[in-house]
Amino acid sequence: MNRLGEGNGKGLLSAKWIIFPVAIAYLGLAYLSLQRGNSLLIGLVLVLLSMIPFLLRFERRERKARELMLIAVMAAVATISRIPFATLLPGFTPVTFVVMISGIVFGAEAGWMVGAVTALVSNLFLGQGPWTPWQMFAWGMAGYTAGLFAHRSVWRRRRLPLVLFGAAWGFLFGWIMNLTLAIDQWVQTHSWEAVLGKYVLSFPFDLIHATANVFFVLTFGPSWIALLERYRRKYGALERIEATKGDKSSEQIPAVNG
Amino acid sequence: MKEGFGFRSLHPIIIFMYYAGGITFGMLLFHPLILLVGWVMAVIVNVHLDGGREWRKWCIPMLSGVVLIAVVNPILSHRGRTVLYYLGDIPITLESVIYGATLAISMLNLLTFFVTYRLVMTEQKFLFLFTRISPKAALVAMMAMGLVPRLRRRMQELILIQRTRGVTISEGSLPQRARNGARLVGTLLSWTLEDALQTADSMQARGYGTGTRSSYLGFRFRMRDGWTLVGFVSCAILLLSAWGNGHGFMTIYPRLGSFSLSLGDGLALAAYVVYLAIPLGWEWRDRRAWLITNYRR
């Protein structure tokens, strides 16, 4: 078990490869555990493994300090944005909205990073638990898909498509978070009714989440996109290749806000 | 009790292994008695590290979430032979009640165990570990964490100032309050972006990214880390072999098994407890050493 990297380039490489034997060992353990009727581990292992490709992609590119800082700021603001809404309805938070907007403006990879870091950091203050990897996955995917979604055409940055997208992620987020207990119900009873029951129980919360997303996109979506676009252009961070080739796509953004 | 004392003085890799292993074993074992003992151990570790201050802060939210799990399970799952009573049309079975309780204890155990993670795994140690695997992501996570307290102060300030303009989140209709809240967050964002990018330029000017990241604290793998590692590995081997032979979990479905621990269960329990207690050994040792050098000269 030589987990100690040597600190230079070679050590870095060897430290990275230790993931694979550990992952295989954990997959085996989780499979055995599942056979004995305990599904907690397999879900966590699979969710953690799903993050590896995103992390590798993020690490591969050269990043400027500004880009890293921008992502960190978005994640911190998303974390803090829970505070003023703590006195309103539970679950009515703009976190998903902030993550989505980051994905839309800064691209899919940055969106994933903002989502995952937000989940990790906000749980440091609200309580870590087995749900942290799931939240990292769910918010990370919300940011990633938002980036992919808005990448195709400028039209999709308008209010209506974003509202639909936000509503969809309000429900998807809840459904992903339910998976742990839903799989547990399935392993326990092998009945779809119990699994469905879990989803029915959580429906009101998902509805609140979706409503929150719709509300924030409707009232603040375009202005936030314009604000972040401005910072992206001003500081030249996380620039899209298309945006640098021809300035047409970036010129169209003020028109979208109107 | 600061860094360099007891549990906290161990190498980051050993600390990380302790938490990874503890959580894994907590999820593998599924027996209410074993998990309860594990929970007691987690509380003891908490008390040793900071007098249980952090743990007491989380107590109520943890308990309420866990009780919810225990209550919801028998309502959803109707498997099991022994029906306790009928809730309207829904049969509540003894087995699913016990399963829910065990799941709840397992969750409580994991949560209590993880409370100490924040106390022991400081930012320095986290960065030291993860800059080897994922340097940029680890840095982003740490920068975001560092920003949070500052942004929280700014948010309080903003809430105070904006109230004088009538932008408040405590009065008015729900949509109005939500709108005001989002306006506050928007202000906070533009405020923070301005100076955060200056920080980034300062980082760039000081040569960020020109070489591999070094750590201010030099973590050395010492003798005590080696001994702890040996202890961890032997406990893990013992526990996993007991687990692999079918011990350490209780049969609940279709008919509730016995609560009593077999020899193999006892072995798994002992290995689990010793595993959780190993870092406390260093706490005790250092405390004794401190007392001896200071008072009995």
Determine contact, residues B152/B169, Cβ cutoff 8 Å. no
Q: Over B157-170, what HEC string results? A: HHHHHHHHCCCCCC
At what angle are helices A9-17 and A19-35 packed, to 10 degrees?
10
> Which of B103, B188, B204 is facing A77, going by the closest CB pair?
B188
Q: What is the pLDDT of residue B297?
A: 57
Residues B31 and B141 in one domain: no
Residues B122 and B161 in one domain: no
B182 part of contact set with chain A, CB < 8 Å: yes
Q: Which residues contact A104 (CB under 8 A, 6 or more apart)?
A: A111, A146, A147, A149, A150, A157, A162, A225
C-alpha A125: how far from its chain's center? 18
For chain B, the distance separating the N- and C-terminal CA atoms, rounded to the nearest angstrom, is: 21
- Domain hosting residue B281, numbered range: 6-127+244-295
The domain boundary residue, chosen from B144, B179, B205: B205
> Which of A77, A84, A216 is facing B192, going by the closest CB pair?
A77
The domain boundary residue, chosen from B181, B205, B229: B205
Whole-angstrom distance, CA of residue A87 vs CA of residue B170: 8
Residue recorded with tokens 């923070």: B192
Residue of A nearest to B202 (CA): A65
The Cβ-side half-sphere exposure at B42, using a 13 Å CA radius, reads 29
Determine contact, residues B86/B12, Cβ cutoff 8 Å. no
pLDDT at B57 over 70: yes
CA angle A247, A248, A251 (to 5 degrees): 85
Instruction: Report if residue B15 sits inside a domain.
Output: yes
Whole-angstrom distance, CA of residue B51 vs CA of residue B40: 14
Closest CA to B143 of A227, A44, A69, A203: A69
pLDDT at A5 over 80: no
Q: What is the mean pLDDT of residues A72-91?
A: 83
Distance from CA of B289 to the nearest CA of A (A): 29
Residues B73 and B43 in one domain: yes
Per-residue tokens: A162: 């974003």
Q: What is the pLDDT of residue A13?
A: 54
Determine contact, residues A15/B132, Cβ cutoff 8 Å. yes
Instruction: Report if residue B23 sits inside a domain.
Output: yes
Closest CA to A71 of B131, B182, B197: B197
The domain boundary residue, chosen from B177, B205, B233: B205
Instruction: Report if residue B217 sits inside a domain.
Output: no
The widest CA-to-CA distance across chain B, in whole angstroms, is 74
Q: What is the mean pLDDT of residues B125-137?
A: 84
Kindly report, residue by residue over B8-27, the tens digit of the pLDDT: 889 999 999 999 999 999 99
Residues B12 and B94 in one domain: yes
CB contacts of A124 in chain B (<8 Å) are 118, 145
Question: CB–CB of B137 and A113 under 8 A?
Answer: yes
Question: CB–CB of A77 and B78 under 8 A?
Answer: no
Residues B121 and B266 in one domain: yes
CB contacts of B24 in chain A (<8 Å) are 26, 29, 41
Residues B163 and B270 in one domain: no
Residue of A nearest to B14 (CA): A3
Q: What is the mean pLDDT of residues A145-152?
A: 89
Q: What is the pLDDT of residue B296?
A: 67
Q: Which of A12, A18, A68 to mutate to test the interface with B (most CBs of B within 10 A)?
A: A68
Question: CB–CB of B175 and A223 under 8 A?
Answer: no
User: Which is it for the CA torsion A40, A43, A46, A49, positive or negative?
Assistant: negative
Distance from CA of B246 to the nearest CA of A (A): 9
Kindly report, residue by residue over A163-216, the tens digit of the pLDDT: 999 999 999 999 999 898 888 888 887 788 888 888 888 899 899 999 999 999
> Which of A19, A125, A189 is facing B148, going by the closest CB pair?
A125
pLDDT at A3 over 90: no
Instruction: Report if residue B230 sits inside a domain.
Output: no
Give chain A's domains with CATH numbers.
63-257 (1.10.1760.20)
Q: What is the mean pLDDT of residues A65-76?
A: 90
Q: What is the pLDDT of residue A220?
A: 85
Residues B20 and B145 in one domain: no
> Which of B24, B58, B182 is facing A216, going by the closest CB pair?
B182
B96 part of contact set with chain A, CB < 8 Å: yes
Q: What is the pLDDT of residue A14?
A: 59
> Which of A121, A185, A224 is facing B141, going by the closest CB pair?
A121
Distance from CA of A230 to the nearest CA of B (A): 10
Pairing mode, if any, of strands B83-87 and B90-93? Answer: antiparallel
Mean of all residue pLDDT scores within chain A? 82
More confident residue, A242 or B230: B230
CA angle A221, A225, A229 (to 5 degrees): 175
Residue of A nearest to B188 (CA): A77
Region of poorest pLDDT, from A65-69, A186-190, B227-231, B285-289: A186-190
Q: What is the pLDDT of residue B113?
A: 92
Neighbours of A89 (CB within 10 A): 14
Residues B18 and B113 in one domain: yes
Distance from CA of B288 to the nearest CA of A (A): 31
B173 part of contact set with chain A, CB < 8 Å: no
- Prior bond of B254 cis (ω within 30°): yes
Question: CB–CB of B196 and A69 under 8 A?
Answer: yes
Closest CA to B15 of B163, B221, B255, B253: B221
DSSP string, chain B: --TTSGGGGS-HHHHHHHHHHHHHHHHH-B-HHHHHHHHHHHHHHHHHHHTTHHHHHHHHHHHHHHHHHHHHHHHH---SS-EEEEETTEEEEHHHHHHHHHHHHHHHHHHHHHHHHHHHS-HHHHHHHHTTT-HHHHHHHHHHHHHHHHHHHHHHHHHHHHHHTT--SSSS-HHHHHHHHHHHHHHHHHHHHHHHHHHHHHHHHTTTTSSPPP-SS-----HHHHHHHHHHHHHHHHHHHHHHTT-SB---SSS----S--HHHHHHHHHHHHHHHHHHHHHHHHHHHHHHHHH--
Residue A138: pLDDT band with limits 50, 70, 90? very high
Determine contact, residues A83/B188, Cβ cutoff 8 Å. no
Question: CB–CB of B196 and A63 under 8 A?
Answer: no
pLDDT at B221 over 50: yes
Residues B70 and B107 in one domain: yes
Residues B14 and B107 in one domain: yes
Whole-angstrom distance, CA of residue B17 vs CA of residue A56: 23
Instruction: Report if residue B234 sits inside a domain.
Output: no
Kindly report, residue by residue over B224-280, the tens digit of the pLDDT: 999 999 999 999 999 999 998 888 888 787 778 788 888 889 999 999 999 999 999
User: Which is it for the CA torsion B55, B59, B61, B65, positive or negative?
Assistant: positive
CB contacts of A212 in chain B (<8 Å) are 178
Residue of A nearest to B25 (CA): A41
Residues B162 and B84 in one domain: no
Instruction: Report if residue B227 sits inside a domain.
Output: no
Determine contact, residues B126/B15, Cβ cutoff 8 Å. no
Kindly report, residue by residue over A209-237, the tens digit of the pLDDT: 999 999 999 988 888 899 888 888 887 76
At what angle are helices B53-76 and B32-50 packed, to 10 degrees?
160
What total of structural domains would you count in chain B?
2
Residues B148 and B102 in one domain: no
Q: What is the pLDDT of residue B39?
A: 94
> Which of A83, A129, A198 is facing B76, going by the closest CB pair?
A198
Q: What is the pLDDT of residue A137?
A: 95
Question: CB–CB of A12 and B132 under 8 A?
Answer: yes
Q: Over chain A, what HEC string results? A: CCCCCCCCHHHHHHHHHCHHHHHHHHHHHHHHHHHCCCCHHHHHHHHHHHHHHHHHHHHHCCCCHHHHHHHHHHHHHHHHCCCCCCCCCCCCCCHHHHHHHHHHHHCHHHHHHHHHHHHHHHHHHHCCCCHHHHHHHHHHHHHHHHHHHHHCCHHHHCHHHHHHHHHHHHHHHHHHHHHHHHHHHHHHHCCHHHHHHHHHHHHHHHHHHHHHHHHHHHHHHHHHHHHHHHHHHHHCCCCCHHHHHCCHHHHHHHHHHC
B230 part of contact set with chain A, CB < 8 Å: no
Instruction: Report if residue B288 sits inside a domain.
Output: yes
pLDDT at A145 over 90: yes
Q: What is the pLDDT of residue A2?
A: 37
Closest CA to B236 of B194, B280, B271, B185: B271
* Integer CA distances (angstroms), B271 to A176, B81, B102, B239, in order: 35, 33, 20, 6
Question: CB–CB of B110 and A88 under 8 A?
Answer: no
Distance from CA of A182 to the nearest CA of B (A): 10
The ipTM assigned to this model is 0.86
pLDDT at A250 over 50: no
Distance from CA of A243 to the nearest CA of B (A): 21
Q: What is the pLDDT of residue A141?
A: 95
Instruction: Report if residue B280 sits inside a domain.
Output: yes
pLDDT at B40 over 80: yes
Q: What is the pLDDT of residue B204?
A: 86
Question: CB–CB of A94 and B159 under 8 A?
Answer: no
